[in-house]
């Protein structure tokens, strides 16, 4: 592995590797099929569902940033989740997942339980009892920071407990990205991403990736991804690689903006609560400081009522009212009516999601513009209440 800084490795991944023309940027290989060099002599690639050179450059680049043995690029984050869960959970085995898991992942796990493929148990890994929640798991599924409350799981403690119980650990690292958090360093076996979010970073590609600590696991994941037809497209891989080159720049700028916004929110009378692991008042602030490089750029806060939310979001100029996250542009979403609308109100309440709660995906715009726009929105919210 190169000894260069990850920032340098992200920029240089696949650069200068074209022997045919010396193209500086690795070319996009759109061909679906590859000629054998002779009878019974396949090359490194034969068919693009199984393997594609453009996809390999992206997979190697992300695996390198995560510190894994290799990776598989998939057509979406959910394709990565599917590959990981089917490759790792044995038939009839037990999957233990967070009670506040990403909704799409929960829907898949629940469907696999209803069709008899596995047993699903939901747990809260974020408290001091997190490691004890492993129980009889075959696979422990973690998300940290969680959505939308940004609860933090102790990756080292839960991974150690899982391994002691003979379970494997998968971490959905979408909310942090490898620029901020590398779960394999804390003992996780597999990392999955929605590359749709920070890795691509421009809200114009749906893609995913699954990275494993060991070569055997990478091979198993690649086998499942090929067998199920989950692998990603060449052009999407090319775009995501272009996005990945600026991951560290984007994350640094977005985190700076997030701190400025958190400062505004923490001091504004319209705000009843701010959830951000970078705040010293966050219950797991010290743990976040230990296992993350920075605190990410997702900020959740509560303005008390749906009326206040409405007054705030109607009139924003620098934040789009939209789901998703991790792009260069700032977004605001209302968890109760948008990302978590399919949850029954009592389940939402149990997960701590209130009607006055908004989640920001802070982008890389000018901090003063974002703060001024949000301050005006908060003033409207205060007047509406």
Q: Say whether 197 is catalytic.
A: yes
- Determine, following the binding rule CB under 6 A, whether residue 77 of this chain makes contact with ligand PLP: yes
- From 55, 117, 151, 197, the catalytic residue: 197
Strands 190-194 and 139-143: unpaired
Structure letter (DSSP) for residue 214: S
- Determine, following the binding rule CB under 6 A, whether residue 330 of this chain makes contact with ligand PLP: no
Applying CB under 6 A, the site for ligand PLP has a residue count of 16
Of 94, 133, 177, 194, the residue at the interface with ligand PLP (CB under 6 A) is 194
Residue nearer to ligand PLP on the CB measure, 59 or 270: 59
- Determine, following the binding rule CB under 6 A, whether residue 206 of this chain makes contact with ligand PLP: yes
User: What is the spatial distance between Cα 171 and Cα 380, in angstroms, rounded to a whole number?
Assistant: 39
Q: Could you tell me the smallest distance in angstroms from the CB atom of residue 323 to ligand PLP?
A: 9
Question: 129: closest CA among 157, 106, 102, 95?
Answer: 157
Q: How far is CA 108 from the centre of its chain?
A: 17
- Determine, following the binding rule CB under 6 A, whether residue 42 of this chain makes contact with ligand PLP: no
Q: Could you tell me the smallest distance in angstroms from the CB atom of residue 81 to ligand PLP?
A: 6
Q: Could you tell me the smallest distance in angstroms from the CB atom of residue 79 to ligand PLP?
A: 7
> In the block, which residue shows the tokens 């000629």?
35
Question: Would you tell me the crossing angle of helices 367-384 and 247-266 to the nearest 10 degrees?
Answer: 40
Contacts with 76 (C-beta within 8 Å, 6 or more apart), sequence order = 194, 196, 206, 207, 208
- Determine, following the binding rule CB under 6 A, whether residue 100 of this chain makes contact with ligand PLP: no
- From 64, 138, 172, 189, the catalytic residue: 172
For 227-253, letters b (16+ CB in 10 Å) and e give: eeebbbbbebbbbbbebbbbbbebbbb
Q: Could you tell me the smallest distance in angstroms from the CB atom of residue 194 to ligand PLP?
A: 3
Residue nearer to ligand PLP on the CB measure, 97 or 161: 97
- Determine, following the binding rule CB under 6 A, whether residue 102 of this chain makes contact with ligand PLP: yes
Convert residues 114-153 into a mask of x (bound to ligand PLP by CB under 6 A) and - (unbound). -----------------------------x---x------
Q: Could you tell me the smallest distance in angstroms from the CB atom of residue 217 to ligand PLP?
A: 19
Q: Could you tell me the smallest distance in angstroms from the CB atom of residue 102 to ligand PLP?
A: 4
Of 76, 82, 237, 333, the residue at the interface with ligand PLP (CB under 6 A) is 76
Q: Could you tell me the smallest distance in angstroms from the CB atom of residue 19 to ligand PLP?
A: 33
Three-class SS of residue 238?
helix
Q: Say whether 172 is catalytic.
A: yes
User: What is the spatial distance between Cα 209 and Cα 213, in angstroms, rounded to a whole number?
Assistant: 14
- From 7, 9, 12, 49, the catalytic residue: 49
List the Cα angle 169/170/171 in 5-degree steps.
Answer: 120
Convert residues 151-180 into a mask of x (bound to ligand PLP by CB under 6 A) and - (unbound). ---------------------x-xx-----
User: What is the spatial distance between Cα 222 and Cα 211, in angstroms, rounded to a whole number?
Assistant: 10
Both tokens of 55, joined, read: 């996809």
Q: Where are the beta strands (DSSP E) in the chain?
A: 70-74, 94-98, 119-123, 139-143, 168-172, 190-194, 208-212, 273-275, 298-302, 320-321, 331-334, 357-361
Q: Say whether 245 is catalytic.
A: no
- Interaction with ligand PLP in 249-308: which residues (CB under 6 A)? none
- From 34, 100, 102, 359, the catalytic residue: 102
Residues identified as active-site: 49, 102, 172, 197
Which residues contribute to the site for ligand PLP (CB under 6 A)?
76-78, 102, 104-105, 143, 147, 172, 174-175, 194, 196-197, 206, 208
């Amino acid at each position: 592995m190169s000894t260069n800084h990850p920032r340098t490795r992200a920029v240089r991944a696949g650069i200068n590797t074209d022997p045919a023309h010396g193209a500086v940027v690795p070319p996009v290989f759109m061909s679906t099929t590859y000629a054998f060099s002779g009878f019974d002599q396949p090359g490194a690639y034969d068919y693009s569902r199984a393997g594609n050179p453009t996809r390999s450059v992206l997979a190697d680049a992300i695996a390198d940033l995560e510190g894994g043995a290799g990776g598989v690029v998939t057509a979406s984050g959910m394709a990565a989740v599917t590959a990981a869960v089917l490759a790792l959970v044995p038939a009839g085995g037990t999957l233990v997942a967070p009670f506040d898991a990403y909704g799409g992942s929960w829907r898949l796990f629940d469907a696999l339980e209803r069709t008899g493929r596995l047993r699903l148990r939901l747990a809260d890994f974020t408290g001091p009892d997190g490691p004890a929640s492993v129980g009889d798991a075959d696979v422990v599924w973690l998300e940290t920071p969680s959505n939308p409350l940004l609860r933090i799981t102790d990756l080292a403690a839960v991974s150690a407990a899982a391994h002691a119980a003979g379970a494997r650990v998968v971490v959905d690292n979408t909310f942090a990205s490898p620029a901020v958090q590398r779960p394999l360093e804390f003992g996780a076996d597999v990392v999955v991403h929605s590359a749709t979010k920070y890795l691509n970073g421009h809200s114009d590609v749906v893609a995913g990736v699954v990275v494993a600590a060991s070569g055997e696991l990478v091979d198993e994941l690649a086998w499942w991804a090929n067998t199920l037809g989950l692998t990603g497209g060449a052009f999407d891989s090319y775009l995501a690689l272009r996005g990945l080159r600026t991951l560290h720049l984007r994350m640094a700028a977005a985190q700076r903006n997030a701190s400025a916004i958190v400062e505004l929110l923490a001091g504004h009378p319209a705000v009843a609560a701010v959830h951000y692991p970078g705040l010293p008042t966050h219950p797991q602030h010290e743990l976040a400081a230990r296992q993350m490089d920075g605190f990410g750029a997702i900020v959740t806060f509560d303005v008390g009522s749906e009326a206040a939310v409405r007054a705030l979001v109607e009139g924003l100029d620098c934040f789009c009212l939209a789901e998703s996250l991790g792009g260069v542009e700032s977004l605001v979403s209302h968890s109760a009516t948008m990302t978590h609308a399919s949850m029954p109100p009592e389940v939402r309440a149990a997960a701590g999601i209130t009607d006055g709660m908004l989640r920001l995906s802070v982008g890389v715009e000018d901090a003063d513009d974002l703060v001024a726009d949000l301050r005006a929105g908060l003033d409207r919210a205060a007047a509406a209440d």
